[in-house]
Amino acid sequence: MTNRRPTPPAAETDAARVPRGTVAGFVHYLRYDAVSGFLVFLIALPLCLGIALASGFPPVAGVFTAVVGALITALLSNSELTIKGPAAGMIVIVLGAMHSFGYSGGADAAADTQAYRMVLAVGLVSGVVQIALGLLRAGRLGEFFPTAVVHGMLAAIGFIICLKQLPVVFGRKASGEPLEILRDIPQTILHMNPAIAMIGLVSLAILFGFPLVKNRLWPAWLRFLPAQLLVLAVAVPLGMWMDLGHEHTYVFASHEYTVGESFLVTVPDNLLAAVTTPDFSVFTRHETLPAGLWWVVMFAAVGSVESLLSAKAIDLLDPWKRKTDMNRDLAAVGVANVAAAAIGGLPMISEIVRSKANIDNGARTRFANFWHGLFLLVFVALGPALIHRIPLSALAAMLVYTGFRLASPREFINVFRIGSEQLLIFITTIVAVLATDLLVGVALAILLKFVIHALNGVPLRSFFKPFLKVSVIDDHTVQIDASGSAVFTNWMPFRRQIEQLGLVQRQDVIVNLADTNLVDHSFLEKLHELSLDFQQAGLKLDIVGLESHRKTSAHPYATRKRGAVRMRRVTIIANAAQEERLVALIRDLGASGYTAMPCQGAGRREPPASAQVRIEVIAPSDIAERILESLARGFSGDDGLTACSETVDVLRPEQF
């Protein structure tokens, strides 16, 4: 198993040795980190405002979160390239908590403020839970969840974000459950506010169109600008042209519409005046305590899983192949969440989109995160009037775009390529989340995966316990023979054994999966990621014994089930004198074995005068195709040779 990671520029080879996370590193990489931090700030500002609004929080709450996350986690975490801040994936959770505590969506300001303060208390306590999880070394819990379920959860969140924000794009307010909003979309469009909708639709056109044309039609300097900044550059002047800063009416197609400041972002002139403290009465009142505890679990569980998965994904993209201490990072995020909630901020995670932009912009250390937060703080403190010019429909368009990327059709295609059972789990997760809630939907999808594994013959006793036998190969190599199953539920104890024998004891490890009944996609993907850790440590992790397992698709990490494997049998009839030449040919083309025997027979023509030989080769499809192509090129009709192929199921393909 191999993986190609980006390599740092040659000029950076020596510079990369300067210790990161130190004063020397801060100074040495200042020009890289400050530039990247500024460019990420341009992306983060509108997203922080939009995510806060979509969550039912004041817009400035998103900025509080990004600033606190940047300043605290840059010092406490060793995750070098992740950007901490509010994320679209948490919108559904936070807004759900707001509604459970009486959020009215603007109809009752006092009730909304009370709900806001109660959710802050939930966020603070969930931050304490995250700190405890980090100290208890629970950073690997995110690896329990199957890959298809995680992607399905994110896609479901994307659908919900799109549905919740589409009415805002058209100048309306979203109300009801996601499926109800979907049902009402035609009415929303029919009763849209044309002026506001124009801003929203133009913003959507820029967001979806700019990535398609920026490398062809735009000058080089403009290609580096994020699409979100271009949206603001267009939407703010449009809002000023429509005089959204003042309440007034206009007539369009014989209908009268109202526009005004309610369609613009509202931020306080004084940041200190926006600081809001949590209301811990949510945990002392009998009527709110059950909901409060439930949302603490949701905040801590979903936020931790999303943050851990994002940090792991960014580690794979790190040009210097640095590894995040997931327990330390989880504790750092928990500390930052406590601090953010204490002053009125949203929950935060390691955010994947901004982190990827951070890498693309040339960041070197965690201080790029620090700089992005510092730029946000300065801008919001000194330029609240500029933020007030941003139309809400433009922010809603950005969130629709973000939601679409989470639930992109490409995600469905990618999951289907892994295997049809993965697509079933993926779609089940989406439907279950939309029909129930996030945690119930994920639980139902995991239950479905259990059922699929059971139907595929996974023994009940091996769902959570791997059956492993360790043998010493030589002074530097050990082999782990697995039996039963190798699936997502027993991955964590399996991984501990591999790490202990390999990374801790400094030995190469061979993992033999020949005696397993089933090896699922999540297990193979995680095993591949672990092999990269071995490479970084100068060790080898080899995976063997999968020859007798049939893949559910052509994907390299597709689920594999032990049993008959589909291969091709090529049968060649030729003059006996050509046997040696034919055997040499099929061996050169990669066939590991063959069967040859004298034969006789007759076809439509007269029987051949010379002796004949029958050669059979069983090989994978690609080798069989090469053999047939070589026979067609290297032999003419006068050679008296004929060949055919057929698909066969082979019980022990390693014998061929």
pLDDT digits 0-9 by tens, 383-408: 888 888 999 999 999 999 988 988 98
**Residue 568's CB: how many other CB atoms inside 10 A?**
20
Q: Which residues contact 353 (CB under 8 A, 6 or more apart)?
A: 43, 402, 405
Residue 7 within a domain: no
Q: Is 580 exposed, middle or buried (0-12, 13-18, 19+ CB in 10 A)?
A: exposed
pLDDT of residue 605: 63
- Enclosing H/E stretch for 30: helix 30-54
The band of 15, judged by pLDDT with boundaries at 50, 70 and 90, is very low
Q: Are strands 467-474 and 349-351 parallel, antiparallel or unpaired?
A: unpaired
Has residue 601 got a pLDDT over 80? Answer: no
Residue 487 scores a pLDDT above 50: yes
Q: pLDDT of 245-263, one tens digit each?
A: 999 999 998 899 999 999 9
Tell me the average pLDDT across 12-25: 54
Closest CA to 188 of 162, 165, 167, 161: 167
pLDDT value at residue 3: 40
3 found inside a domain: no
| Same domain flag for 469 and 441 | no
Is residue 365 domain-shared with residue 473, that is, in the same domain? no
Residue 11 falls inside a structural domain: no
Tell whether 505 and 378 lie within a shared domain.
Answer: no
**Residues in CB range of 535: below 8 A, 6 or more apart:** none
pLDDT tier at 4 (50, 70, 90 boundaries)? very low
Per-residue model confidence (pLDDT) at position 22: 61
Strands (E), 417-476: 467-474
pLDDT for res 9: 46
Q: Is residue 10 part of a domain?
A: no
Boundary-marking domain end, from 559, 575, 592: 559
How high is the pLDDT of residue 239? 94
> Do residue 435 and residue 476 come from a single domain?
no
Is a pLDDT exceeding 90 seen at residue 315? no
- Residue 360 · residue 83 · CB < 8 Å: no
The answer to whether residue 2 is domain-embedded is no
Residue 287 pLDDT: 93
User: Which of 559, 583, 606 lies at the terminal end of a domain, its last residue?
Assistant: 559
Tokens of 250: 């206009």
pLDDT number for residue 401: 92
Mean pLDDT, residues 324-334: 94
- Listed residue (570, 568, 577) closest to 630, CA to CA: 570
pLDDT value at 101 more than 90: yes
Pair (52, 179) in one structural domain: yes
Nearest Cα residue to 433 out of 89, 127, 86: 89
Maximal C-alpha separation, the chain: 103
As a whole number of angstroms, the distance between CA 651 and CA 656 comes to 11
Could you tell me what percent of the chain has a pLDDT over 90?
A: 52
User: What pLDDT is attached to residue 266?
Assistant: 87
CA 347 to chain CA centroid, nearest Å: 19
508-519 and 560-562: which strand pairing?
Answer: antiparallel
Count, in order, helices (H) and strands (E) of the chain. 24, 14
Minimum mean pLDDT range among 164-178, 293-307, 627-641 = 627-641
Query: Could you tell me if 431 and 480 lie in one domain?
Result: no
Beta strand pairing call for 248-252 and 477-486: unpaired
Helices (H), 80-146: 91-100, 109-135
Q: What is the mean pLDDT of the chain?
A: 87
Structural domain count of the chain: 4
Is residue 1 domain-resident? no
* Domain stops at, among 414, 444, 473: 414
Regarding whether 354 and 233 lie in a shared domain, the answer is: yes
Give the Cα separation of 195 and 191 in Å (integer).
12
For the record, the structure tokens of 499 come out as: 């790490």
Say how far apart CA 59 and CA 49 lie, in whole Å.
5
114 contacts: CB under 8 Å, gap ≥ 6: 101, 102, 279
Asked if the model's pLDDT at residue 167 lies above 90, the reply is yes
- CB count within 10 Å of CB 336 equals 29
Instruction: Give yes or no for a contact between 542 and 596, defined as CB atoms under 8 angstroms apart.
Output: no
Is 299 in a helix, a strand, or coil?
helix
Cβ(70)–Cβ(404) under 8 Å? Answer: no
Give me the pLDDT at residue 144, please.
Answer: 80
Query: Mean pLDDT across the stretch 540-554?
Result: 88
Question: Hey, which bits of 253-351 come out as E strands?
Answer: 255-259, 349-351
Average pLDDT over residues 217-235: 77
Listed range (176-180, 551-555, 651-655) with the worst mean pLDDT: 651-655
Give residue-wise pLDDT tens across range 430-483: 999 888 877 788 889 999 999 999 888 888 888 888 889 999 998 899 999 998
Q: Does residue 148 sit in the same domain as residue 64?
A: yes
Domain assignment present for residue 44? The answer is: yes
Same-domain status, 436 and 546: no
d(CA 526, CA 514): 18
Buried b (16+ CB within 10 A) or exposed e, 280-314: eebeeeeebeebbebbbebbbbbbbbbbbbbbbeb
* Across 174-189, average pLDDT: 85
Question: Are 119 and 190 found together in one domain?
Answer: yes
Same domain, 507 and 430: no
The pair phi, psi for residue 385, each rounded to 5°, is -65, -35
CATH code assigned at 519? 3.30.750.24
Residue 150 within a domain: yes
Q: What pLDDT shows up at residue 447?
A: 93
Dihedral sign, Cα of residue 417, residue 419, residue 425, residue 427: positive
Q: What does the alpha-carbon distance between residue 212 and residue 224 come to, in Å, rounded to a whole number?
A: 14
Residues 319 and 249 in one domain: yes
Which structural domain, as residue segments, surrounds residue 296? Answer: 18-414
Here the CATH number for the domain that contains residue 592 is 3.30.70.120
State the Rg of the chain over Cα.
Answer: 30
Q: How many CA atoms lie within 13 A of 23 on its CB side?
A: 0
